[in-house]
Amino acid sequence: MRRNRKTSLVVAFLVLGMLAVNSPALAGQAAAPAIAQGGTLKVATVGEPPNLDVMTLPADLVTMIGQHIFEQMFAFDEKYDVKPMLAESYSVSPDGKTYTIQLRKGVKFHNGQEMTSADALASLNRWGKVSSRGKIAFNSVESVTAPDASTVVIKLKTPFAPLLSFLAFQNTAAAIMPKAIIEKFGDKVVTEYIGTGPYRFEDWRPDFRIRLTRYTGYSARTDASSGFAGKKTAYLDALEFYPVTEAGARIAGVETGDYQYAYSVSKEAYPRLAKNANLMTLVISPGQWGWIIFNKKQGIAANQGVRQAALAALNMEPIVRAAYGLPDFYQLEPSYYPKGTAWYSTGGAKYYNQKNPALAKQLLAKAGYKNEPLRIICTKEYEYMYSIGVTAAAQLKEAGFNVDLQVFDWATVLDRRGKPDMYDAFVTGHGFVPDPSLITILSSQYPGWWDSPEKNDLLAKLNSTTQMAARKQVWDKLHELIYTQVPAIRTGQEKLFDVATAKLVNYWPSVWPNFWNVGLAK
223 plus 106 within the same structural domain: yes
- Kindly state the helix (H) or strand (E) to which residue 499 belongs, with its residue range: strand 488-501
Give domain status of residue 270, yes or no: no
56 plus 171 within the same structural domain: yes
The distance from CA 215 to its chain's CA centroid, rounded to whole angstroms, is 25
256 plus 320 within the same structural domain: no
- Is residue 174 over pLDDT 70? yes
* CATH number, domain containing residue 219: 3.40.190.10
Give CA–CA dist 393/3, Å, rounded.
41
pLDDT band at 432; cut points 50, 70, 90: confident
- Interval 199-256: pLDDT, tens: 999 999 999 999 999 999 999 999 999 999 999 999 999 999 999 999 999 999 999 9
Closest CA to 45 of 60, 28, 23, 66: 60
237 plus 362 within the same structural domain: no
249 plus 356 within the same structural domain: no
Asked if residues 409 and 379 have their Cβ atoms less than 8 Å apart, the reply is yes
369 plus 510 within the same structural domain: no
386 plus 448 within the same structural domain: yes
Give domain status of residue 428, yes or no: yes
Give domain status of residue 17, yes or no: no
Model pLDDT, residue 31: 61
Domain that holds residue 133: 33-260+503-520
Give domain status of residue 53, yes or no: yes
Closest CA to 278 of 504, 37, 515, 496: 504
Give domain status of residue 15, yes or no: no
319 plus 451 within the same structural domain: yes
Helix (H, G, I), strand (E, B) or coil at 207: coil
48 plus 129 within the same structural domain: yes
Asked, as a colleague might, if the bond just before 318 is cis with ω within 30 of 0, I would say no
Q: What percent of the chain has pLDDT over 70?
A: 94
353 plus 432 within the same structural domain: yes
Instruction: Report pTM.
Output: 0.84
Cα angle 399-404-410, degrees, rounded to a multiple of 5: 125
515 plus 489 within the same structural domain: no
335 plus 248 within the same structural domain: no
* CATH number, domain containing residue 428: 3.10.105.10
Give domain status of residue 4, yes or no: no
The letter for the amino acid at 51 is N
Q: Which residue has the higher pLDDT, 6 or 80?
A: 80
Asked if residues 76 and 168 have their Cβ atoms less than 8 Å apart, the reply is yes
Domain total for the chain?
2
Least confident of 25-29, 373-377, 459-463: 25-29
Give domain status of residue 73, yes or no: yes
Give domain status of residue 49, yes or no: yes
- Interval 41-56: pLDDT, tens: 999 999 999 999 999 9
Asked if residues 261 and 500 have their Cβ atoms less than 8 Å apart, the reply is yes
Model pLDDT, residue 15: 40
